[in-house]
Structure 1
Amino acid sequence: MVVRAVQKVSSTRGFAKVAPHVIPVLDRAVHRLTRGKVLLSAQMLPGVILTSTGARSGLPRRTPLACMPEEDGRSWILVGSNFGRFGHPAWTHNLLAHPDAEVSWKGRDIPVTARLLEGEERAAVWKTALAFWPPYATYQARVEREIRLFRIVRRR
């Protein structure tokens, strides 16, 4: 019941305007205070802190993100929805420029490599993403761009 209410609220335009400015700040603060053990938004959806390399700056960029853990336990799907706002989120540009990154997952820092999903593979994962978090359909309907999907896999 709570999840449905959150899904409904997260599909609104008001949420899309406010959430990007509030949720990441709270997530980073709680994550830091708990030494990587808790991610506030992960109380609803699984989440990671992605540390990518800035596409232009070359500096490390930490971004709290919802994720879809895959069954293999070695990979996750990241959805570049940007809350249904115009433009791809910056972290997607960073991963395209520098696919090697790191995620903080359940208090552990894990080196990963990202790959943009395309074609049939993207279509199949998109269906799974919609079942996982239905508001993604609302986000996609609001924008003309195709929402980017990335598979991040543990590096050996």
Structure 2
Amino acid sequence: MFLTPLTRRVGRYRWFGAAMRLLVPVDRAVGRLTRGRVVALGLVPSLVITTTGRKSGKPRSNPLLYVPDGDAYVVIGSNWGQPHQPAWALNLRAQPAAEVDVAGRRVPVRGELATGAERDRLWRLLLDEWPAYQAYVERAGGREIRIFRLVPAERGAPGDSDGPDSRARQP
């Protein structure tokens, strides 16, 4: 997916995060209408994650920016730089089984919290895609933001071309 220079530039500002939080309900509706083919208003490589509510037990869906890592999807619980973790990240920690919808394709996944050197490697991948994450850390008071690898629960056969790396990044 292609990020415009303008999107990359304004993504670090507090007002952008506030505006995007307000647009999340619109984004969810667009995602449902397009069966997951357009999320994050088409501005960034996105997926819709469905977790199980840790208190309600009900499915909860959220659009997220992701980066591919092998056959997995890497997402970050940045919450637009707010000082608290997003609900989906807390849900994923409580129940790692989830589902992602990427470009209209549903994939059951298991969320793995990244730590240590693996977290550092994934952090660099995320910053390459969305440099504003660094500003989010600063806004969140320097707290470490959780990074998850969403690993397909049912991996395809070797050479399967349906993984995230099989899609060329296109605008």
In 1, are the aligned partners of 2:40 and 2:63 still within 8 Å (CA)?
no
Aligned residues: 151
In 2, are the aligned partners of 1:76 and 1:152 still within 8 Å (CA)?
yes
TM-score, normalised to structure 2's length?
0.83
Q: Match of 2:164?
A: none
SS at match of 1:48: strand
Structure 1 residues not aligned, in runs of 5+: none
Looking at structure 1, the residues matched to 86 and 92 of structure 2 have their Cα atoms a distance apart, in angstroms, of 11
Q: Does 1:94 align with 2:91?
A: yes
In 1, are the aligned partners of 2:40 and 2:65 still within 8 Å (CA)?
no
Looking at structure 1, the residues matched to 125 and 36 of structure 2 have their Cα atoms a distance apart, in angstroms, of 27
TM-score, normalised to structure 1's length?
0.90
Looking at structure 2, the residues matched to 12 and 102 of structure 1 have their Cα atoms a distance apart, in angstroms, of 30
Range with bigger deviation, 87-96 or 132-141 = 132-141
Q: Match of 2:169?
A: none
SS at match of 1:141: helix
Decide which structure has greater helix share.
Answer: 1
Report the Cα offset of residue 87 of structure 1. Answer: 0.5
- Shift >4 Å, 4+ stretches: none
In 1, are the aligned partners of 2:36 and 2:47 still within 8 Å (CA)?
no
Q: Does 1:56 align with 2:58?
A: no
Map 1:3-152; keep pairs closer than 5 Å: 3-22=4-23, 24-41=24-41, 43-70=42-69, 72=70, 74-144=71-141, 145-152=143-150
Structure 2 residues not aligned, in runs of 5+: 155-171
> Percentage identity across aligned positions?
40
In 1, are the aligned partners of 2:73 and 2:151 still within 8 Å (CA)?
yes
Question: Which string of whole-angstrom CA distances, capped at 9 and with x for unpartnered residues, describes residues 101-137 of structure 1?
Answer: 0001111111000010011110111122112211111
Looking at structure 2, the residues matched to 53 and 46 of structure 1 have their Cα atoms a distance apart, in angstroms, of 23
